[in-house]
């Protein structure tokens, strides 16, 4: 923190202006108050960590726990962290809320089922889904890319991967829609959707366990059950929590990777042209570095990375008390000029791009290979099939869903020459 005489005012956080462009405020925080205590809109007091080096250190610091029981306010029944409607056990016992040794055991189990091979085998299905959503609006010459493309793609993809029968997948789309629309709003509706999803998943897991047989189905839930049946223990509750976190962690993040990514490409015509050419020529190198750069430049996860101090500690020169929540601001760290030359420039061919968009350390995003597959397929196919894609609204009119967890567009209107 700066001394009183030099301290200019901290820009207002969590306003509409902040949601539509948080980067100037992040630059201010990095420079003047890199570990900054603030009151979140929920009323919870937390530390924001905005410099790359501090952020990376915090993400891997074993003194910072992911378990909300370590939140000082939780002890007084005031803690407001977590999934609405879920307290204590149930779906809260998932990877993002636990520490070793439980985390190590559960992550090992799910890693056996969520393998890069399984994701690679899934590529044709992601392509098929991508094409079918584009088909649904291609003849119109206009679309809302959030609702008609970025939103349904990941939800149907994860449902397929998990082994949710096709006839039930529309229910998941509706529950997920409730969560994304009202994530920071009326808790009642979200809690009801979470409850329905929990009930459905518990039943599905039970059914799959009973019908697994010798061969078994080749879906992720069956894989999870099988992994647990071979030596290591995974309770039905843990399996339901695992399926839920795969949906929860892999859904809105991917919506916003595609939404923010396409939006930034439309705002950077030279970069977009480079990527369009690469996609048409099947140059996977630029596609891969390009999607990583889009994640760094305008990633979906803002502050979702809660940690709680299990003891008094010092981070970035700031003393943090036991029980204090710490939020690592990935989007701020990923624009740190100390780490990324020209951080505010979108450079799709950027090398040495160790951004923190997928986190770091033992909680590093389990779904990164799937997110990359979906992001690259969605963006490449869109640019190839709709080559004159353009924004259908003034950028100033676009509304951002800001929040503590994700940052993404509410709608992304686009226009293009209709294709049959
Ligand atoms: C963890 C980002 C897509 C599943 C994380 C974390 C981040 C992240 C930052 C670490 C959080 C922390 O340390 O507190 C993203 C982004 C995505 C994405 C930006 C898309 C662009 C996915 C997908 C899935 C997924 C598609 C699965 C279907 C998970 C899981 C964890 C996680 C299970 C918890 C891992 C653990 O605690 O061991 N993700 N994610 N994510 N992600 Fe993702």
Tell me the DSSP string of 181-217: HHTTS-HHHHHHHHHHHHHHHHHHHHHHHHT-TTT--
Specify whether the CB–CB gap between 359 and 305 falls below 8 A.
yes
User: Tens-digit pLDDT profile for the chain (420 aa)?
Assistant: 444 555 578 888 988 888 889 999 999 999 999 999 999 888 899 999 999 999 999 999 999 999 988 987 765 444 444 444 444 446 667 888 899 998 998 898 888 888 888 899 999 999 999 999 999 999 999 999 999 999 999 999 999 999 999 999 999 888 888 877 665 444 567 788 888 888 898 899 888 888 775 456 778 888 888 876 666 667 778 888 888 888 888 888 999 999 999 999 999 999 999 999 999 998 899 999 999 999 999 998 876 688 999 999 999 999 999 999 999 999 999 999 999 999 999 999 999 999 999 999 999 999 999 999 999 999 999 999 999 999 999 999 999 886 667 889 999 999 999 998
| Ligand 1 lined by 370 (C-beta under 6 Å) | yes
Distance CA 28, CA 8 (A): 9
Q: Which of 320, 318, 296, 317 is nearest to 308 (CA)?
A: 320
Quick check: CB of 245 below 6 Å from ligand 1? Answer: yes
- Separation of CA 292 and ligand 1 centre (Å): 14
Nearest to 326 by CA among 19, 95, 101, 70: 70
Q: H or E segment at 245?
A: helix 236-267
Return the best residue to mutate from 367, 370, 405, 407 for the ligand 1 pocket (most ligand atoms within 8 A of CB). Answer: 367
Q: Is 95 in the pocket of ligand 1 (CB under 6 A)?
A: yes
Verify cis geometry, omega within 30 degrees of 0, for the bond prior to 101: yes
CA distance 225 to 110: 10
**Which residues 6+ apart lie within 8 Å of 399 measured at CB?**
20, 409, 410, 411
CA 15 – CA 133 distance, rounded (Å): 33
Q: Is 291 in the pocket of ligand 1 (CB under 6 A)?
A: no
Q: Is the CB of 107 under 6 A from ligand 1?
A: yes
Rounded distance from Cα 367 to ligand 1 centre (Å): 6
Which residue puts its alpha carbon closest to atom 21 of ligand 1? 254
Measure the CA–CA gap between 327 and 306, rounded to whole angstroms.
5
Distance 364 CA to ligand 1 centre (A): 7
pTM: 0.92
Element (H, E) at 76: none
Euclidean distance between CA atoms 136 and 144, whole angstroms = 12
Residue nearest to atom 15 of ligand 1 (CA): 358
Q: Are strands 325-328 and 305-309 parallel, antiparallel or unpaired?
A: antiparallel
Nearest to 317 by CA among 17, 11, 36: 36
User: How many CB atoms within 10 Å of residue 202?
Assistant: 18
Which residue CA neighbors atom 39 of ligand 1 most closely? Answer: 365
Structural domain spans, the chain:
23-415
Instruction: Give the pLDDT of residue 84.
Output: 41
What is the separation of C-alpha 181 from the centre of its chain, rounded to a whole number of angstroms?
Answer: 15
Compute the radius of gyration of the chain from its Cα atoms: 21
**Residue whose CB lies within 8 A of the most ligand 1 atoms, among 250, 307, 327, for a mutation test:** 250
Distance 96 CA to ligand 1 centre (A): 9
| Residue of minimum CA distance from atom 6 in ligand 1 | 365
- 356 and 334 in contact (C-beta within 8 Å)? yes
Per-residue model confidence (pLDDT) at position 228: 65
Cβ within 8 Å of residue 202, ≥6 positions away? 236, 237, 240
- Say whether domain 23-415 belongs to CATH 2.60.260.20: no
pLDDT at 89: 44
Residue 171 burial class via C-beta count within 10 angstroms: exposed 0-12, middle 13-18, buried 19 and up: middle
Q: How far is the CA of 250 from the centre of ligand 1 (A)?
A: 6
DSSP codes joined into one string, 308-369: EESS-EEETTEEE-TT-EEEE-HHHHTT-TTTSSSTTS--TT--S----TT--GGG--TTHH
pLDDT of residue 186: 46
Question: Closest Cα to residue 402, out of 22, 12, 10, 113?
Answer: 22
> How many other β-carbons are positioned within 10 Å of the β-carbon of residue 35?
22
- Point out the ligand 1 atom lying closest to the alpha carbon of residue 359: 9
Output the CA–CA distances (angstroms, integers) from residue 61 to 57, 245, 291, 315, 397, in the order listed: 6, 22, 28, 10, 41
Nearest CA to ligand 1 atom 1: 365
Q: Cα–Cα distances in Å, from 200 out to 119, 154, 240, 289?
A: 24, 19, 9, 38
Cα-to-centroid distance, 392 and ligand 1 (Å): 31
């Amino acid at each position: 923190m700066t001394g009183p005489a030099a301290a200019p005012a901290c820009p207002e956080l969590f306003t509409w202006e902040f949601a539509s462009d948080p980067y100037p405020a992040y630059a201010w925080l990095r420079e003047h108050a890199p570990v900054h205590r603030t009151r979140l809109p929920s009323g919870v007091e937390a530390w924001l960590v905005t410099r790359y080096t501090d952020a990376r250190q915090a993400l891997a610091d074993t003194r910072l726990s992911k378990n909300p029981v370590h939140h000082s306010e939780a002890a007084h029944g005031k803690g407001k962290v977590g999934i609405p409607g879920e307290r204590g056990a149930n779906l809260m016992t998932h990877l993002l809320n636990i520490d070793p040794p439980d985390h190590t055991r559960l992550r090992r189990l799910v890693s056996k089922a969520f393998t890069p091979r399984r994701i690679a085998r899934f590529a044709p299905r992601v392509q098929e889904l991508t094409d079918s959503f584009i088909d649904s609006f291609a003849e119109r010459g206009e679309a809302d890319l959030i609702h008609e493309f970025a939103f349904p793609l990941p939800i149907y993809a994860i449902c397929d991967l998990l082994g949710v029968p096709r006839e039930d997948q529309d229910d998941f789309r509706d529950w997920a829609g409730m969560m994304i629309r009202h994530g920071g709003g009326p808790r009642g509706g979200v809690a009801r959707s979470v409850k329905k999803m929990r009930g459905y998943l518990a039943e599905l897991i039970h059914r799959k366990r009973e019908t697994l047989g010798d061969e078994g189905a080749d879906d992720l839930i069956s894989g999870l059950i099988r992994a647990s049946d071979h030596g290591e223990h995974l309770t039905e509750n843990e399996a339901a929590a695992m399926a839920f976190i795969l949906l929860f962690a892999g859904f809105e993040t991917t919506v916003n990777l595609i939404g923010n990514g396409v939006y930034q490409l439309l705002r950077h015509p030279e970069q977009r042209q480079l990527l369009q050419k690469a996609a048409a020529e099947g140059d996977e190198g630029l596609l891969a570095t390009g999607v990583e750069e889009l994640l760094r430049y305008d990633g979906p996860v803002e502050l979702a990375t809660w940690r709680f101090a299990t003891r008094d500690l010092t981070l970035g020169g700031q003393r943090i008390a036991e029980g204090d929540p710490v939020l690592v601001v990935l989007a701020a760290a990923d624009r740190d000029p100390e780490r990324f030359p020209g951080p505010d420039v979108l450079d799709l061919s950027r090398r040495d791009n160790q951004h923190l968009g997928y986190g770091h350390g033992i909680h590093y995003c389990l779904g990164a290979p799937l997110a990359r597959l979906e992001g690259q397929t969605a963006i490449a196919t869109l640019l190839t099939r709709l080559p004159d894609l353009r924004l259908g609204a003034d950028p100033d009119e676009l509304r951002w869903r800001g929040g503590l967890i994700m940052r993404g567009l509410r709608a992304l209107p686009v226009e293009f020459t209709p294709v049959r």
